[in-house]
A and B are shown apart, each in its own frame.
Chain A
Amino acid sequence: QLQLQESGPGLVKPSETLFLTCTVSGGSIHSSSYDWGWIRQPPGKGLEWIGSVYSSGSTYYNSSLKSRVTISVDTSKNQLSLKLSSVTAADTAVYFCARTGILCSSGCFDYWGQGTLVTVSS
């Protein structure tokens, strides 16, 4: 059974860089059949796609965050990572990692982590 688990600091200071990891178990992150993404949800609000990394090596980011975000895969650790720089209070959210693949035409997400709350505050 595939499982995704996000981890990282729950509190980040304004202007600093947020770094999260997502550990994949029960399957390989290095598969041509699957791709991976990050989605976030501010408290009490809706979902926002942050970006995705594809098995081809390509990455795509939400234009609203593009200059601040980096998503990468570490196949040796079976991990997905998210780096978001120059954070502000508007980046306070629950951050989810998720899998997409052939069924979803690499666009929708069929497996999700439980999410991790990141609060930006001094």
Chain B
Amino acid sequence: DIQMTQSPSTLSASVGDRVTFTCRASQSISSWLAWYQQTPGKAPKVLIYKASSLQSGVPSRFSGSGSGTEFTLTISSLQPDDFATYYCQQYDSFPWTFGQGTKVEIK
């Protein structure tokens, strides 16, 4: 199985900050990576698919990059609604696997 490792596990930031976090795959997954945002008690919401494509309706402050084994999600200016947990998911090879998540907390 492909292991997905996210860093950091927790990130403390303030409204307006630019934040970046990383997802690493244990083997190459080309660009078959999605990013999700999850708030407590809610289902995950897809933000980015195919590593860098912005899902319809998602604010343009979110961007994704990377290919192969290293990927990043950037929020250009953190907003109050963005304090959440973010997961990456690979869909290159079965079984699809998720990272353990990065929690963005208010500083």
Known: A104-B34, A105-B32. A47 touches B46 (CB 8 A): no
Known: A46-B98, A63-B1, A103-B49. A108 touches B44 (CB 8 A): no
Of A8-16, A76-84, A85-93, A109-117, the segment with at least 4 beta carbons within 8 Å of chain B is A109-117
Other A-B pairs, 14, CB within 8 Å; known A61-B95, A112-B45: A46-B87, A46-B99, A46-B101, A47-B101, A49-B89, A60-B94, A63-B1, A98-B43, A104-B91, A107-B91, A108-B89, A109-B34, A112-B43, A112-B44
A-B contact list, 23 entries, CB within 8 Å:
A46-B98, A46-B99, A46-B100, A46-B101, A47-B36, A47-B87, A47-B89, A47-B98, A49-B95, A49-B97, A52-B96, A60-B95, A96-B43, A96-B44, A98-B43, A103-B55, A104-B46, A105-B91, A108-B46, A109-B46, A110-B49, A110-B55, A112-B45
